[in-house]
């Protein structure tokens, strides 16, 4: 389904509600505004298969732009607005974005020239000669849906172990927007019991795959999405009670922060409406999950998946209590655990996780080699995102590591190579390794181990200089929280960093 299916029956029902009371977007408004925007994109020359890039804080505008793309055969590339300007520029160029929609406050991130970009739209106050005003752009177009509305999709970026972002490009379906068949709606809505009565709390940034796609699922089935502008532990719990939230989605860092609320605050809200609390994106510490189940009851539902949509496993609270640490059994694809040569391993042995599908579920945009590297050497429809794990006798999947020591901090993937590349540009740095070390709140935090040139001193002043240097070149969440100095880094004869030794050495070092 899609928002237009509910206009006749519930035109004034909220499709999107901002938790801070700043705005409510009804189904009638979402339908009209997304239709106008779709028609405006078409008038600007966009055609099915083109890419629309979006940089926008959590706002109802995200849903308008998303549904405009979904009803036009366009790809939406929602860009992480916490990235540094060069990182944003790379995504816009690599995606070949034909249109850009950006909040006025974020416009400084996109001042460069981009060859394919011919339509720029500005949300919010302020004018610019190169941009259409968002409201005027919508007003210029017809509110009548065109006869042909091919289903679009999203092309989101997820960095690889080399640190280079990669666009995950699904094959667009051969159907109209109103026709059933969306895989996310078909899988997640029935699993979690979502319907027109669903009130879904979204506390995370909407540029992430899960919040964006789950918001699409809820507005596809006629429910209401409650969007937090930003996460705050007490406000999140208060929102569950205030809006009578039925469903929500979290990352483990959210749990840690909510568990740190005073007991008097935690117990001060009526959470009886809350039926399903979904979590994903990062491994959840076993004790943290136990405490959340004790507080909220057995309503926690975990899934393991990826932006690529290669496969997915699911596990409820009762199953998890019997198999603590598991991410569940498969419901999308068949997991295959393989060694480095692609040989399938027996039950209980740890190896690279592939998911077997009938067809290749994705490609990496403009990167056929990266696409091939994600495929099993003998089975092209078995794909991996580089995670390592094992299956038990009952078919439950357990994650045991991440290939190339990718760091997951607060549910966000951080890739060491690009941080290392940035720090190596500093004149005092001879060699550097970036690793993730345990952190009680974020799961992992970023540590840089630096070998200085002989003329540099391992001092607090040097540490501060490196931090400032990194902040000028990287998104804030990628800047090392700790910087340690060493006389030499462990490398193999071929020059490869032995990061396992570094993690063993520094994981117990106090932050």
Determine the pLDDT at residue 402.
62
Run of H or E residues at 419: helix 416-423
Angle, helices 460-471 vs 416-423, to 10°: value is 120
Q: Give SS3 for 212.
A: helix
Domains of the chain and CATH, by start: 3-225 (3.40.50.980), 406-506 (3.30.300.30)
Six-digit token pair at 397? 């999947």
List CB contacts of 319: < 8 A, sequence separation 6 or more: 326, 328, 396
Determine the pLDDT at residue 75.
98
Determine the pLDDT at residue 158.
77
Length reported for the chain: 511
Determine the pLDDT at residue 159.
53
Determine the pLDDT at residue 58.
96
For residues 36 and 267, what is the distance between their CA atoms, to the nearest angstrom? Answer: 45
Determine the pLDDT at residue 153.
96
Tell me, what DSSP letter sits at residue 204? Answer: S
Which among 3, 271, 21 is positioned nearest to 13, based on CA atoms?
3
Determine the pLDDT at residue 318.
97
Q: Give SS3 for 451.
A: strand
Determine the pLDDT at residue 241.
98
Q: Give SS3 for 54.
A: strand
Tell me, what DSSP letter sits at residue 108? Answer: G
Backbone torsion region of residue 476, taken as left when φ is above 0, otherwise alpha when ψ lies between -120 and 50, otherwise beta: alpha
For residues 419 and 475, what is the distance between their CA atoms, to the nearest angstrom? Answer: 10
Task: Flag residues of the chain having pLDDT under 50.
Answer: 160-162, 493-495, 509-511
Report strand pairing: 387-391 vs 397-402.
Answer: antiparallel
In sign, the C-alpha dihedral spanning 402, 405, 411, 414 is negative
Write out the E strands in 228-374: 247-250, 276-279, 300-304, 312-316, 329-332, 334-338, 351-356, 363-364
Please name every residue paired with 231 in a beta bridge, in sequence order, or none if there are none: none
């Amino acid at each position: 389904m899609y928002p237009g299916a509910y206009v006749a029956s519930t035109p004034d029902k909220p499709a999107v509600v901002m938790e801070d009371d700043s705005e409510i977007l009804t189904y009638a408004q979402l339908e009209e505004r997304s239709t106008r925007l779709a028609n405006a994109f078409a008038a600007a020359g966009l055609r099915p298969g083109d890419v629309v890039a979006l940089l926008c804080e959590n706002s109802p505008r995200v849903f308008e732009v998303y549904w405009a793309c979904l009803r036009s055969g366009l790809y939406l590339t929602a860009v992480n607005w916490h990235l540094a300007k060069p990182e944003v520029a790379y995504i816009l160029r690599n995606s070949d974005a034909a249109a850009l929609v950006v909040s006025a406050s974020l416009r400084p991130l996109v001042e460069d020239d981009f060859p394919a970009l011919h339509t720029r739209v500005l949300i919010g106050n302020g004018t610019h000669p190169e941009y259409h005003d968002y409201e005027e752009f919508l007003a210029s177009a017809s509110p009548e849906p065109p006869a042909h509305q091919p289903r679009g999709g999203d092309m989101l970026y997820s960095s690889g172990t080399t640190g280079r972002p990669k666009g995950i490009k699904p094959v667009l379906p051969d159907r109209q927007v109103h026709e059933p068949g969306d895989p996310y709606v078909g899988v997640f809505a029935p699993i979690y019991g979502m319907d027109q009565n669903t009130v879904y709390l979204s506390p995370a940034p909407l540029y992430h795959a899960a919040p964006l796609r789950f918001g699409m699922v809820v507005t596809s089935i006629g429910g209401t999405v409650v969007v937090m502008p930003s996460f705050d532990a007490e406000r999140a719990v208060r929102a569950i009670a205030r809006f009578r939230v039925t469903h929500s989605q979290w990352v483990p860092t959210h749990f840690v922060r909510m568990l740190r609320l005073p007991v008097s605050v935690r117990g001060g809200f009526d959470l009886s409406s809350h039926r399903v609390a979904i979590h994903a994106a990062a491994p959840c510490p076993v004790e943290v999950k136990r405490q959340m189940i004790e507080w909220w009851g057995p309503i926690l539902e975990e899934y393991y998946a990826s932006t690529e949509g290669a496969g997915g496993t699911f596990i409820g609270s009762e199953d998890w209590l019997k198999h603590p640490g598991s991410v569940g059994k498969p419901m999308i694809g068949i997991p295959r655990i393989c060694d480095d040569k692609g040989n399938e391993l027996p039950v209980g042995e740890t190896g690279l996780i592939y998911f077997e599908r009938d067809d290749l579920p994705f490609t990496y945009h403009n990167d056929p080699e990266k696409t091939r590297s994600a495929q099993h050497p003998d089975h092209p429809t078995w794909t991996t995102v580089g995670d390592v794990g094992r299956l038990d006798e009952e078919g439950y999947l357990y994650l045991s590591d991440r290939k190339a020591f990718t760091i997951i901090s607060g549910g966000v993937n951080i890739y060491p190579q690009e941080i290392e590349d940035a720090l190596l540009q500093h004149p005092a740095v001879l060699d550097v390794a970036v690793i993730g070390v345990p952190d009680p709140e974020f799961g992992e935090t970023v540590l840089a181990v630096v070998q200085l040139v002989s003329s540099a001193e391992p001092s607090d002043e040097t540490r501060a200089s490196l931090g400032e240097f990194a902040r000028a070149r990287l998104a804030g969440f990628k800047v090392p929280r700790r910087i340690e100095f060493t006389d030499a880094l462990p490398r193999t004869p071929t020059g490869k960093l032995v990061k396992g030794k570094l993690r063993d050495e520094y994981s117990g070092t106090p932050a």
